Amino acid sequence: MRSSRDEFAAGAREVSPVLVGLVPFGLVAGVAATASGLTPLQGFALSALSFSGIAQLIVCQLIAAKSPAIVVVAAGSIVSLRFVMYSASVSPHLAHLDRRWRALLAFLMTDQSFAMATARFSAPGDAGFRHWHTLGASITLYLAWQFTVAVGIAVGAQVPGSWSLDFAVVLTFIALLVPAVRTRADLGAAIVAGAVALIAAGLPYRLALVAASLAGIAAGMAMERSRRRRERVQ
């Protein structure tokens, strides 16, 4: 049986390839915090407390655009709605842990650690200390993320614009989007959400993101329903 220490070390080791992709993203998040007008301390606090690249970027963009605080918080929450799905998905595996453990793993949850946890918890073999695997991966991700964000804040506007480093952020989302499209309903949701995001691009305060996400989810659910109906008929 693998000990808690073995699991922790394995989690930290297995997450390391992902760290390379994290570096440009973290730098951009740090640069965005500086560009938004937040002080370095505020920028770092945002990162240390929310630990979500997407939420940090949206929040920084909206603060830079002088959006009202309520809009900033709403947009940061909407882009974080995917965490609810992750939370639902891993909760059966964490149900036996005490509240402090569950709060810690929830606080540290990211797209990457969710993917790692799903793989580890579904593997065959004994399950005793698997939450230590998730903790090892999550803490490694957390430390690497905060370090690169801090470098981004410190470097600030000194990264030349011609490097187009902000494009790396869009590419990171592509790297997450493509594996997230597993079914036809996912594909329909993605296409409709992408199209609505462009049609609604003129809306203020990133409301296009909200409208597009809801439209995509509705389209995916409609596809899923009609597929069921066809299956019943056959």
Partner 1 sequence: MTPWLTILAVAAATFLLRGSFILFANPHKFPHAFRQALQLVPAAVLAAIVAPGLAAPAGAVDLSPHNLRLLAGLVALAVAARIRHPLAPIAAGMASLWLLQGAIG
Within 48-107, which residues bind partner 1 (CB under 8 A)? Answer: 49-52, 54-55, 59, 63, 69, 72-73, 76-88, 90-92, 94, 99, 102-103, 105-107
Task: Considering only CA atoms, give the Rg of the chain.
Answer: 19
The residue within the footprint of partner 1, chosen from 5, 170, 226, 227 (CB under 8 A), is: 170
Whether the CB-CB separation of 33 and 46 falls below 8 Å is answered with yes
Nearest to 19 by CA among 141, 174, 153: 141
The residue within the footprint of partner 1, chosen from 28, 32, 38, 150 (CB under 8 A), is: 38
Helices (H), 79-110: 82-94, 99-107
We find the least distance from the C-beta atom of residue 216 to partner 1, in angstroms, to be: 3
Distance CA 75, CA 55 (A): 8
The residue within the footprint of partner 1, chosen from 1, 162, 230, 231 (CB under 8 A), is: 162
- The DSSP call for residue 1 is -
Within 2-21, which residues bind partner 1 (CB under 8 A)? Answer: 17-18, 20-21
CA atoms within 13 A of residue 148's CA, in its CB half-sphere: 19
The residue within the footprint of partner 1, chosen from 181, 203, 205, 207 (CB under 8 A), is: 181
Within 110-149, which residues bind partner 1 (CB under 8 A)? Answer: none
The residue within the footprint of partner 1, chosen from 13, 187, 226, 227 (CB under 8 A), is: 187
